[in-house]
């Protein structure tokens, strides 16, 4: 099988040992896994089968297996979940364990709901608890910035908090600013009770250790989750009751966390090694001349080999902790999934997201699960069933493996295999993928290249469907089809949606995912982060659109906006920053200085920041750039112990916008209400709203086209 230039870049950066080739990698991995066989003849037979399967790209195991096996003492498993208890000793023991897991090449998931809320009294020291978000910050720095995962990349973590934890609102906002907790994905563990409360507009009790701390409207929390997903894709959601209701290993306990990408809910100290069947190779017929057919025999054969391979990984594996080794050998859990589903749809001339593609997803995953079940039963007869079944009788107690299937995102594996990732549609038909410590890969799917090589350049058929043309609910339908037709664990699925997607579409998608039996869901709106992994190529005419804006256009400012007024001390006097919001987000910033500084410059910066916001520049980009600016006068004043709060006026402007963004959802809703009032009274008398001065509390008046404080000794004004 030809390895592409992009695949070689990935392999050389992450997988190859010195001067290694693809054939040699396949040999060393196959030899290591086949070492589980009992006789020399059996080892020889299975080593050849494994090598052929890997080399042909019919099946690939998760990255740690490819990178570590036959090369070093690293683990072959990618997914781990660690428990945390509410004590200093347990917290730092878990941190130590997480460091070990990351050093072996795995990612960790942790449920922080066991930690007491910030500000709670700590009896042993009469101090105050820092809370789960602060503890996550310690983990983030230690694992991500000090320890590199398996020596090749920064650590990957999943932080989970239950929706009824008292600190849930802070958790939802903890990644609102890009760059914070950069080594964590975060997901809210939502219960059926919460979802029902949202549907009924009921209240939710926030509790810790069975004690109610306060009560909030469930819809309020829901709106905050949706708003976070809309703004930058954080947080995701895991439907924790659905996960536990459908857990094949529920006899062993309750699941509270998942691996970093969410497809593998796991019990404490559990691990799982993943692998993916390349569906783009499971076809017969010349698809460029007519629809291909699913090659069911080829698929069954690939599944049988993959199940034996993944089961043997468990036996020959290296484990970072004895607790993980014990639990893994007890359950023998594997996660066989797929990649190349979008390619399969294209080769069968089906539009991704159509009813026909949903039926195909059901058919393929049901066949994979049935074949995996048959293979695991055969292994159970040959090598013995999973030890968990010796003490816990279930309807699958005759299998070798406690759980069989899971669908991973296959981000780099799909680059190696030159196919579409996981069960996702193609992001675009010509795009850039950022990976490998900043290296950019130019991506054009193999199916596009194959079609063009036969038919020449021109308009592609309608069954070439990029992600931007897949409706949000079609994404959910595909995920639910896979989840409900044969996935024991979960399905990693991100709704990659256009920038123009509205909050209500996300809300509907999340609710539909729950009702459809999905175990979790993540949403990402294209362009909502300054740095993102995938970038579609711009149109060839140089044009483009951002929320309906053409290049050079600015969003119109509504008559009514809403926002806070923030005051900060600089070396030159007081700095006032007033970010304003419309119903969609921050749209302008008013800035002025009192007591010193250059009023013209600060006003000019406010105008430029406002233009940036109205042009669609992400607030996080503006914040990060402004906060990075230092002023010698402020630095000197801070060193001298003077009451100066920011490193420069520009940094103060960034800080003011940052503080306002923490409550952006509130200001957007208020702006929407104010806009409604304004429209209601347009053409007639308007209500008189008398605001108060943020400095002295006196009434504000309008004078000379500006808002000023009525107190002559204050001098505050908005202009």
Q: How confident is the model at residue 460 (pLDDT cuts 50, 70, 90)?
A: very high
Q: What is the pLDDT of residues 27-37, one digit of tens each?
A: 999 999 999 99
Which residues have a Cβ under 8 Å from the Cβ of 2 and sit 6 or more positions away? none
Which range has highest mean pLDDT (210-214, 456-460, 587-591)?
Answer: 210-214
Q: What is the pLDDT of residues 246-296, one digit of tens each?
A: 999 999 999 999 999 999 999 999 999 999 999 999 999 999 999 999 999
Tell me, yes or no, if 259 is annotated catalytic: yes
Domain membership of residue 234 as a residue range:
79-243
pLDDT at 603 over 50: yes
DSSP per position, 186-238: EEEEE-HHHHHHHHTT-EEEEEETTEEEEEEEHHHHHHHHHHHHHHHS--EEE
Domain boundary at 212, 243, 274, which?
243
Q: What is the pLDDT of residues 336-389, one digit of tens each?
A: 999 999 999 999 999 999 999 999 999 999 999 999 999 999 999 999 999 999
Tell me the residue ranges of DSSP E strands in 458-585: 494-497, 520-525, 534-536, 566-570, 573-581
176 compared with 470, residue with greater pLDDT: 470
**Long-range CB contacts (within 8 A, 24+) of 686-695:** 694/565, 694/566, 694/567, 694/576, 695/567
Alpha-carbon distance of 347 to 283, in angstroms, equals 8
Mark whether 613 and 695 lie in a shared domain. no
Alpha-carbon distance of 505 to 501, in angstroms, equals 7
pLDDT at 630 over 50: yes
Residue 225 within any structural domain of the chain: yes
Residue 623 within any structural domain of the chain: yes
Which one of the listed residues 37, 178, 263, 474 is annotated catalytic? Answer: 263
Residue 299 within any structural domain of the chain: no
Mark whether 613 and 703 lie in a shared domain. no
Mark whether 572 and 718 lie in a shared domain. no
The answer to whether the beta carbons of residues 510 and 198 sit under 8 Å apart is no
Mark whether 588 and 718 lie in a shared domain. no
Tell me, yes or no, if 439 is annotated catalytic: no
pLDDT of residue 543: 32
pLDDT of residue 124: 76
Which one of the listed residues 26, 174, 261, 272 is annotated catalytic? Answer: 261
Q: What is the pLDDT of residues 388-427, one digit of tens each?
A: 998 877 767 789 999 999 999 998 999 999 999 999 999 8
Domain boundary at 243, 263, 283, which?
243
pLDDT at 440 over 80: no
Q: How confident is the model at residue 155 (pLDDT cuts 50, 70, 90)?
A: low
Mark whether 703 and 679 lie in a shared domain. no
DSSP per position, 604-657: HHHHHHHHHHHTT--HHHHHHHHHT---HHHHHHHHTT-S--SSSHHHHHHHHH
Mark whether 717 and 663 lie in a shared domain. no
Taking residues 165-174, report their average pLDDT: 96
Mark whether 693 and 656 lie in a shared domain. no
Alpha-carbon distance of 10 to 435, in angstroms, equals 9
pLDDT of residue 498: 84
Beta bridge partners of 238: 189, 520
pLDDT of residue 121: 85
Residue 656 within any structural domain of the chain: yes
pLDDT at 451 over 60: yes
DSSP per position, 534-571: EEEPPPTTS---BTTBPTT--PPPPS--B---EEEEET
The answer to whether the beta carbons of residues 168 and 190 sit under 8 Å apart is no
154 compared with 432, residue with greater pLDDT: 432
Number of domains in the chain: 3
Domain boundary at 243, 276, 311, which?
243
Mark whether 133 and 154 lie in a shared domain. yes
Mark whether 636 and 700 lie in a shared domain. no
Q: What is the pLDDT of residues 43-79, one digit of tens each?
A: 999 999 999 999 999 999 999 999 999 999 989 999 9
Share of the chain above pLDDT 70, in %: 87
pLDDT at 696 over 60: no
672 compared with 366, residue with greater pLDDT: 366
Q: Which of 592, 591, 581, 528 is nearest to 557 (CA)?
A: 581
Which one of the listed residues 62, 183, 259, 574 is annotated catalytic? Answer: 259
Give the residue carrying structure tokens 């808002």.
Answer: 707
Residue 292 within any structural domain of the chain: no
626 compared with 507, residue with greater pLDDT: 507
Residue 228 within any structural domain of the chain: yes
Which residues have a Cβ under 8 Å from the Cβ of 114 and sit 6 or more positions away? 83, 84, 85, 86
Mark whether 118 and 236 lie in a shared domain. yes
Orientation angle between helical segments 664-681 and 218-232, nearest 10 degrees: 100
Average pLDDT of the chain, as a whole number? 87
Mark whether 88 and 154 lie in a shared domain. yes
pLDDT at 690 over 60: no
**Helical segments of 36-141, H only:** 40-55, 63-68, 88-103, 132-139
pLDDT of residue 43: 98
Give the residue carrying structure tokens 């004590």.
Answer: 87
Alpha-carbon distance of 271 to 266, in angstroms, equals 7
Tell me, yes or no, if 263 is annotated catalytic: yes
- Which of 236-250, 442-456, 636-650 shows the lowest mean pLDDT across its residues? 636-650
Residue 520 within any structural domain of the chain: no
Which residues have a Cβ under 8 Å from the Cβ of 331 and sit 6 or more positions away? 249, 252, 267, 270, 386, 388, 402, 403
pLDDT of residue 545: 33
Supply angle C-alpha 527, 162, 155, rounded to 5.
55
Phi then psi dihedrals of residue 655, to 5 deg: -65, -40
Q: How confident is the model at residue 700 (pLDDT cuts 50, 70, 90)?
A: low
Residue 319 within any structural domain of the chain: no
Mark whether 199 and 210 lie in a shared domain. yes
Taking residues 184-198, report their average pLDDT: 97
């Amino acid at each position: 099988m030809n390895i592409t230039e992009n695949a070689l870049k990935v392999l050389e950066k992450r997988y190859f040992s010195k001067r290694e080739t693809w054939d040699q990698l396949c040999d060393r991995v196959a030899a290591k896994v086949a070492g589980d066989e009992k006789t020399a003849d059996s080892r020889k037979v299975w080593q050849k089968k494994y090598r052929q399967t890997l080399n042909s790209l019919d099946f690939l195991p998760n990255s740690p297996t490819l990178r570590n096996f036959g090369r070093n003492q690293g683990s072959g498993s990618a997914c781990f979940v660690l428990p945390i208890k509410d004590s200093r000793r347990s917290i730092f023991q878990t941190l130590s364990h997480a460091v070990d897991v990351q050093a072996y090449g795995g990612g960790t998931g942790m449920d922080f709901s066991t930690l007491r809320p910030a500000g709670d009294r700590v009896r042993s020291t009469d101090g105050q608890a820092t809370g789960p978000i602060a503890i996550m910050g310690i983990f983030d720095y230690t694992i991500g910035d000090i320890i590199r995962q398996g020596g090749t990349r920064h650590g990957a973590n999943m932080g989970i908090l239950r929706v009824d934890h008292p600190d849930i609102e802070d958790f939802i906002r903890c990644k609102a600013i890009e760059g914070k907790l950069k080594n964590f994905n975060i997901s809210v563990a939502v219960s059926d009770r919460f979802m029902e409360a949202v549907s009924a507009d009921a209240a939710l009790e926030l509790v810790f250790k069975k004690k109610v701390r306060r009560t909030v409207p469930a819809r309020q929390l829901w709106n905050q989750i949706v708003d976070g997903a809309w703004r930058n894709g954080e947080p995701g959601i895991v439907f924790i009751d659905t996960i536990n209701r459908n857990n094949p290993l529920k006899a062993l306990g309750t699941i509270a966390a998942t691996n970093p990408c969410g497809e593998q809910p796991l019990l404490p100290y559990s691990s799982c090694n993943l692998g993916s069947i390349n569906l783009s190779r499971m076809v017969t017929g010349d698809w460029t001349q007519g629809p291909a057919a699913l090659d069911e025999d080829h698929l069954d054969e690939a599944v049988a080999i993959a199940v034996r391979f993944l089961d043997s990984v468990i036996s020959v594996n290296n484990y970072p902790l004895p607790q993980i080794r014990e639990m893994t050998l007890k359950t023998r859990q594997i996660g066989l999934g797929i990649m190349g589903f979008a390619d399969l749809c294209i080769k069968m001339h089906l539009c991704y997201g159509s009813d026909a593609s949903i039926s195909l997803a059901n058919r393929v995953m049901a066949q994979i699960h049935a074949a995996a079940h048959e293979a695991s039963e055969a292994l159970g007869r040959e090598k013995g069933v999973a030890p968990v079944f010796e003490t816990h009788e279930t309807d699958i107690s005759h299998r070798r493996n406690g759980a069989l299937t899971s669908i991973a995102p296959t981000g780099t594996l799909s680059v190696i295999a030159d196919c579409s990732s996981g069960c996702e549609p193609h992001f675009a038909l010509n795009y850039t993928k950022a990976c490998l410590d900043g290296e950019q890969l130019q991506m054009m799917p193999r199916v596009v290249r194959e079609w063009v090589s036969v038919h020449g350049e021109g308009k592609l058929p309608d069954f070439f469907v990029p992600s931007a043309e897949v409706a949000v609910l079609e994404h959910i339908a595909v995920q639910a089809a896979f989840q409900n037709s044969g996935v024991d664990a979960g399905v990693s699925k991100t709704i990659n949606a256009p920038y123009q997607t509205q909050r209500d579409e996300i809300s509907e998608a999340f609710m539909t995912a729950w009702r459809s039996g999905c175990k979790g869901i993540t949403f990402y709106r294209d362009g909502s982060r300054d740095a993102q992994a995938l970038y579609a190529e711009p149109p060839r005419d140089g044009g483009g659109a951002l929320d309906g804006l053409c290049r050079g256009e600015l969003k119109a400012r509504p008559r009514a906006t809403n926002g806070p007024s923030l005051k900060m001390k600089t070396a030159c006097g007081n700095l006032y920053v007033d970010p304003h919001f419309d119903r969609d987000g921050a749209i302008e910033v008013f800035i002025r200085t009192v007591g010193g500084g250059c009023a013209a410059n600060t006003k000019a910066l406010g105008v430029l920041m406002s233009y940036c916001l109205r042009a669609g520049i992400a607030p996080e980009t503006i914040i990060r750039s402004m906060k990075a600016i230092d002023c010698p006068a402020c630095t000197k004043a801070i060193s001298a112990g003077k009451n100066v709060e920011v490193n420069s006026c520009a940094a103060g402007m960034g800080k003011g916008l940052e503080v306002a963004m923490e409550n952006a959802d509130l200001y957007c809703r208020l702006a929407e209400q104010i806009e409604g009032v304004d429209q209601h009274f347009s053409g007639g008398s308007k209500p008189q709203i008398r605001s108060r001065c943020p400095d002295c509390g006196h009434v504000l008046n309008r004078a000379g086209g500006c808002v000023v404080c009525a107190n002559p000794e204050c001098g505050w004004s908005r202009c």
